[in-house]
Structure 1
Amino acid sequence: MFSGIVQNTAPVRIEARHQDLWTLSVPLTASQRDGLVSGASIALNGTCLTVTQIDDAGRAHFDVMMETLRVTNLGDLHEGDLVNVERAARFGDDIGGHVMSGHIQGQVPVVEIERPQNNCILWFGITPAQRRYLFAKGFAGLNGCSLTIGEVLDDRFNVFLIPETLNVTSFGEIKVGDRVNLEVDAHTQAIVDTLERMRAAGEL
């Protein structure tokens, strides 16, 4: 389980690139290494990955399989690219964002960036299938950040970013055309999918 509160960004290293299987590593902070063992979970760009090794330099290693490479933007990474990092929540941690699973449903492209004074508004393009799960003042996980949705139109939605989010996450360097990992609210998805199945079965 994750809270969607990104702890920092880290440059990724591509340790190996095999057919449909990559091995990535990132440096961890001292607090992230504290008590960490192989088999633990860390989210990179919101994608829940299993730690396979913690090396002597304090880097966590992860194997990224073909489905993850297909669905997420981890397959687009290059050596040195920054990724958002969050260690899985532990019992007793404050959940300052929203409960997130780290299971990515797909990607959304950045289609517009507005920068009014002291603000940053990001617009993301969406498909009709994604649109069903997005609501104004609901939330979405975007590259691992739990963010409140502003407006939702037929083919796009926006979020408003505060300076702290821009400083701590990779959103400070985002560009139009970049593709961002999307995790929708699991409760909203369950309700929408259940109602659609009931409607199709003539139960509504």
Structure 2
Amino acid sequence: MFTGIVQGIASVDDVSASPGLSTLVIRFPNDKVEGITIGASVAINGACLTVTRQENNALYFDAMQETLRLTTLGNLKPGDEVNFERAARIGDEIGGHLLSGHIHTAARIVDIQRPENNVTLWFEVPKEWTRYIFPKGYIAINGASLTIGEVTGNRFNVHLIPETLRATIFGKAREGDLVNIEIDSQTQTIVDTLARLGYDRPTPAL
């Protein structure tokens, strides 16, 4: 499990493709790999991956075809930066909301607004996922636990303070970028349960 509090930014050193998977070599800040072990779980842009090898502060991860299909990890190339979070431990503060690291879909940044002292990002998601997106609800974007602002059709926004921009790759976000989305599990459970009881939420018109 993860908390959605991004612990830092890491950089992609290498990506190698083999039949059925890709191996990612990602370099972390030196102080963020202390105590890491082979088999440990780390969220990379929100996707839970397993450490398969370590060389100093470079960690190796294998991403299977299903992971590459559902997430943006297949688009990574050397030099790209990613958000990371190591798996939560019992007793850790839950500053965001509980995440599984299982990505549901990808969204595209369609607009970036820069009012004074913050940034507003607008995202567009596939229509079928809008049923789980509510104003003021939780969502994880590239592994960061965020609060949804406005929702219009299959678009929604989030408001980011300077500290979030500094600590994550959102500080370099551009229109057209794809991001990983993990829907809040409690929201999904409630919506699906109500749908089974006949109280389905209509999909917003586009």
TM category, shorter? over 0.9
Which residue of structure 2 aligns with residue 65 of structure 1?
A: 64
Which residue of structure 1 aligns with residue 16 of structure 2?
A: 16
Alignment of 1:68-147 (within 5 A): 68-147=67-146
Structure 2 unpaired stretches of 5+: 200-206
Decide whether the 8 Å contact of 2:106 with 2:179 is kept in 1.
yes
Which residue of structure 1 aligns with residue 28 of structure 2?
A: 28
Which residue of structure 2 aligns with residue 195 of structure 1?
A: 194
Decide whether the 8 Å contact of 1:108 with 1:179 is kept in 2.
yes
Which residue of structure 1 aligns with residue 6 of structure 2?
A: 6
TM-score of the pair, normalised by structure 2: 0.92
Map Cα deviations across residues 84-109 of structure 1 (whole Å, 9 max, x no partner). 01111111211111111111001000
Map Cα deviations across residues 111-131 of structure 1 (whole Å, 9 max, x no partner). 110111111000001233111
Decide whether the 8 Å contact of 2:15 with 2:78 is kept in 1.
no
Map Cα deviations across residues 21-66 of structure 1 (whole Å, 9 max, x no partner). 11012123344322211111000000000111112x2211100000
The amino acid of 1:27's aligned partner reads R
Moved over 4 A (4+): none
Structure 1 unpaired stretches of 5+: none
Structure 1 Cα separation of the partners of residues 15 and 125 of structure 2: 33
Length, aligned pairs only: 199
Structure 2 Cα separation of the partners of residues 31 and 77 of structure 1: 24
SS of residue matched to 1:116: coil
Decide whether the 8 Å contact of 1:14 with 1:22 is kept in 2.
no
Q: Percent identity?
A: 52
SS of residue matched to 1:132: helix
TM-score of the pair, normalised by structure 1: 0.93
How big is the shift at 1:19? 3.1
SS of residue matched to 2:148: strand
Map Cα deviations across residues 72-94 of structure 1 (whole Å, 9 max, x no partner). 00001111100001111111211
Which residue of structure 1 aligns with residue 158 of structure 2?
A: 159
How big is the shift at 1:70? 0.5
Which residue of structure 1 aligns with residue 202 of structure 2?
A: none
- RMSD of equivalent CA atoms: 1.3
Which residue of structure 2 aligns with residue 185 of structure 1?
A: 184
Decide whether the 8 Å contact of 1:52 with 1:60 is kept in 2.
yes
Structure 2 Cα separation of the partners of residues 112 and 28 of structure 1: 30
